[in-house]
Amino acid sequence: MLLWPWVLPVLAVVAVALVVVGLLLPRRRRDRGVAVAHVDRMTALGAFRGALVRYRLLVGGALALALGGALVAGVLASRPAGVHASQQDDYKRDIVLCLDVSGSMVDVDADILAVYQDIARELDGERIGMRIFDASSVMAFPLTSDYDYIAAQLGRYERALTGQLSPEEQFNYLAGTANGLGASLVGDGLASCVLDFADLEASERPRSIILATDNIVNGQQIFSLPQAGQLAIEHDVRVYAINPFDFGADQAANELRETVEGTGGAYFPLDFAQTVPGIVDRVNAIEAGYIETPPLVQVVDRPGILPLVVLLLVGGVCIAVWRARL
Amino acid sequence: MSIHAHRRTLELLDGEYASIHHGRSHDFDDLREYQPGDDVKDIDWKATARSHVPLIKRYIASRQHTLLLVVDAGRNMAAVSESGERKAELAILVAGVLGYLASRHGDRVALLAGDEERVLAVQEGGSEAHLERMLRQIDEAVSLDGPRSDLERVLALAVRRMRRRALVVVIADDVAYTHDLDVHLGRLQARHEVLWVSIGDADLMARGRDRRELVGVDSGQGLPAFLRRDRRLRRAFDEAAAERRARLEEGLRSLGIAAARVSDERGAIAALFRLLERHRRARR
């Protein structure tokens, strides 16, 4: 693709004009050479023919190089360009895993952690954070793109949830989750997860929360679930809920569905049809719709190696002309 | 200084002319001892009878020699000489010096200049004005646009036209010594005394700073400066040029013609004096 294709014919005309001038000039100059007699003293020599052939080769080579250089320079001047599509890093998303660690949720949490451990190995640019909550919420680890660390933490929590911790890494994963009144305070948990996103105002990265809960609230919440949902909407956070105990049209499930769908997210009951990995795949598919912003398409000059070629050709011309003592 | 004439009967000496002009008697000064090669009919028998040795008479009329300047007036003379001057300038200088010497000596100077088309013949004359006129005519005849040089033709003309015995000075350049040249010079030398002056041609491989192209005057062929950097060509040219000059010198020597090569104005006078000296000593 040439941005200025009209430059080529213009340069061709200029080149032809230069060649014509170059061919006409020496004819006028012939009179101004040094007049000498008896040139047959030289032209009769055998060595003269060889030297003349070398001279003509040099001049011809210089001419060919100059023409080639002019051609390449012409192509270069007409601006060869290409289309450059760029995906900006800003659209890498942030994910916070927001896990209800009340006793009923442990198995589902472990599944989610297992899935995200696999996902974390293939991520690039996305950040993952994790918060667990029951009566109060605790940040397991903040948003980070340190995938080794993420995988280690996820593995650690997964083993803790399934009771497979080795003796030397024993820890009480529930520590700090029982400081409130009641249990499974989902609204508070979701609200704190929403606030986990760093630089809420400045960052334009798509934000999503994987919320695993059964929404069986037991106790006094500061944020109700709809309020937390509102907070998420305000901060452009989409919430994807995974509910292992959806018994049809119960009120808790409905409230959870309405809230998360209000944020632009989705609600997934965990039943026989849906496994945790399947759900996560679908979440990622939905999220992909948000992060696939149209790539920034730019038409950029793509000179490639042409400038180098021109440089080499011009250098060749200079050397040939110098050798030929033109 | 004079241009020596080898024929004994035509002996020319500075003192002799002085005596003529001063009107002194002929009886002693005009007699000279007989030397082998002198014409027997020139012997002054009465004077010989009075003296112990044979004496010969010399005729005043014969003492005036003719100096014929044979000059190449073609394009070659408009070219550049070895020193960078116009060759015609050097040719005119040489012709002028020799003509001046001759006219001062009382000889008469004629000119035969020409190229492949033209002939410029000036009758002999004894005055400096006459010489000056001839030199100017040479200068006007020689130009880059003029006809090509053809020295053989001019020499053939000289053979045909110059019936009277004369001193012939050929002013040419670094010509190749061809068979024709040899024939014409041989004929000329048989009748006259011939001297040869080569105006040195430009060195085509000149190492000077001049980067301009050389242009051959006869063919218009250009010799780009590039060729001057070619070592092999330079060596070949130097050898060929030296050989060409050696062949010319050898040919002239075998004909008994004294030759000199004038390559610049400064060395011209010295070269001409050497030429005259060589000519005087040459055996006939």
Domain map (residue ranges) of chain A: 7-85+298-324, 89-291
From chain A, the residues in CB contact with B244 under 8 A are 41
To the nearest whole Å, the CA of A18 is away from the closest chain B CA by 21
Identify the band that residue A264 occupies on the pLDDT scale cut at 50, 70 and 90. confident
Q: Give A181-218 as a DSSP string.
A: SEE--HHHHHHHHHTTSSSTTT--S-EEEEEE-----E
Query: What are the residues whose beta carbons fall under 8 Å from the beta carbon of A59, sequence distance 6 or more?
Result: A320, A324, A326
Whether the predicted pLDDT of B128 surpasses 70:
yes
Domain shared by B158 and B252, yes or no? yes
* Count of structural domains, chain B: 2
- Alpha-helix runs per DSSP H in chain A: 7-29, 40-43, 46-77, 106-122, 147-162, 186-194, 225-234, 251-262, 276-291, 306-324
What value of ipTM does the predicted structure carry?
0.72
Which range has the top average pLDDT, A152-166, A169-183, A242-256?
Answer: A152-166
Q: How far apart are CA A245 and CA A243, in angstroms?
A: 6
Under 8 Å between Cβ of B77 and B149: yes
- Classify residue B1: in a domain, yes or no: no
Whether the predicted pLDDT of B27 surpasses 60:
no
Interchain contact, B78 vs A48, CB within 8 Å:
no
Residue B26 has a pLDDT of 41
Residue B60 has a pLDDT of 52
Which range has the top average pLDDT, A19-23, B64-68, B275-279?
Answer: B275-279
* Interface test with chain B among A40, A41, A53, A321, by most B beta carbons within 10 Å: A41
From chain A, the residues in CB contact with B215 under 8 A are 30, 33-36
Whether the predicted pLDDT of A101 surpasses 70:
yes
- By DSSP bridging, strand A137-144 and strand A127-133 are antiparallel
β-bridge partners, A36: B216
Residue B138 has a pLDDT of 94
Interchain contact, A42 vs B210, CB within 8 Å:
no
Interchain contact, B144 vs A33, CB within 8 Å:
no
Mean pLDDT along residues A125-141: 88
Burial of B210 (0-12, 13-18, 19+ CB in 10 A): middle
Token pair for residue B98? 């020799």
Please count the other Cβ atoms lying within 10 Å of the Cβ belonging to residue A20.
Answer: 10
Instruction: Select from A5, A35, A222 the least CA-distant residue to B219.
Output: A35
Whether the predicted pLDDT of B17 surpasses 50:
no
The CATH code of the domain at A89-291 is 3.40.50.410
Last residue in a domain, options B62, B82, B104: B62
- Mean pLDDT of chain B, nearest integer: 83
Residue B5 has a pLDDT of 67
From chain B, the residues in CB contact with A34 under 8 A are 80, 202, 210, 212-215
Of A58-67, A152-161, B226-235, where does mean pLDDT reach its minimum?
B226-235
Mean pLDDT along residues B130-138: 94
From chain B, the residues in CB contact with A54 under 8 A are 230
Q: How far apart are CA B162 and CA B199, in angstroms?
A: 24
- Classify residue B164: in a domain, yes or no: yes
Token pair for residue A173? 């994963």
Residue A131 has a pLDDT of 92
Burial of B258 (0-12, 13-18, 19+ CB in 10 A): buried
Under 8 Å between Cβ of B214 and B222: yes
Identify the band that residue B12 occupies on the pLDDT scale cut at 50, 70 and 90. very low
Domain shared by B130 and B240, yes or no? yes
3-state class (DSSP) for residue A93: coil
Residue B8 has a pLDDT of 42
Under 8 Å between Cβ of A236 and A203: no
- Mean pLDDT of chain A, nearest integer: 83
Whether the predicted pLDDT of A54 surpasses 80:
yes
β-bridge partners, B248: none
Token pair for residue B34? 């007989």
Instruction: Select from B165, B153, B156, B155 the least CA-distant residue to B190.
Output: B165
Domain shared by B46 and B79, yes or no? no
- Classify residue B3: in a domain, yes or no: no
Domain shared by B185 and B58, yes or no? no
Whether the predicted pLDDT of A133 surpasses 70:
yes
Q: How far apart are CA A135 and CA B270, in angstroms?
A: 128
Domain shared by B170 and B153, yes or no? yes
Domain shared by B14 and B75, yes or no? no
Residue whose tokens read 């200025």 = A4
Half-sphere exposure of B80 (CA within 13 A, CB side): 19
Half-sphere exposure of A72 (CA within 13 A, CB side): 17
* CA B5 distance to own-chain centroid: 13
Mean pLDDT along residues A17-40: 78
For residue B212, the chain A residue with the least C-alpha distance is A33
Out of B79, B226, B227, closest to residue A35 by CB: B79
pLDDT digits over B148-201, tens only? Answer: 999 999 999 999 988 888 889 999 998 999 999 999 999 999 989 899 999 999
Q: Any idea what the CATH number is for the domain that residue B74 is in? A: 3.40.50.410
From chain A, the residues in CB contact with B79 under 8 A are 35-37
Residue A47 has a pLDDT of 86
Residue A94 has a pLDDT of 84
Interchain contact, B221 vs A47, CB within 8 Å:
no
- How much is the CA Rg of chain B, to the nearest whole Å? 21
Which range has the top average pLDDT, B13-27, B59-73, B93-107?
Answer: B93-107
Domain shared by B154 and B90, yes or no? yes
Whether the predicted pLDDT of B6 surpasses 70:
no
- Classify residue B264: in a domain, yes or no: yes
Domain shared by B255 and B146, yes or no? yes
Identify the band that residue A180 occupies on the pLDDT scale cut at 50, 70 and 90. confident
- Classify residue B238: in a domain, yes or no: yes
Identify the band that residue A88 occupies on the pLDDT scale cut at 50, 70 and 90. low
- One-letter amino acid for residue B190 of the chain: A
Domain shared by B189 and B129, yes or no? yes
Host domain of residue B75: 64-281
Identify the band that residue B119 occupies on the pLDDT scale cut at 50, 70 and 90. very high
Residue B87 has a pLDDT of 92
* CA B69 distance to own-chain centroid: 6
Domain shared by B48 and B94, yes or no? no
pLDDT digits over A150-173, tens only? Answer: 888 888 888 888 888 888 888 888
Mean pLDDT along residues A20-30: 73
Taking one residue from A and the other from B, the number of pairs with CB-CB distance under 8 angstroms is 119
Give whole-number Cα distances, B78 to A83, A107, B154, in Å.
68, 114, 17
Residue B112 has a pLDDT of 94
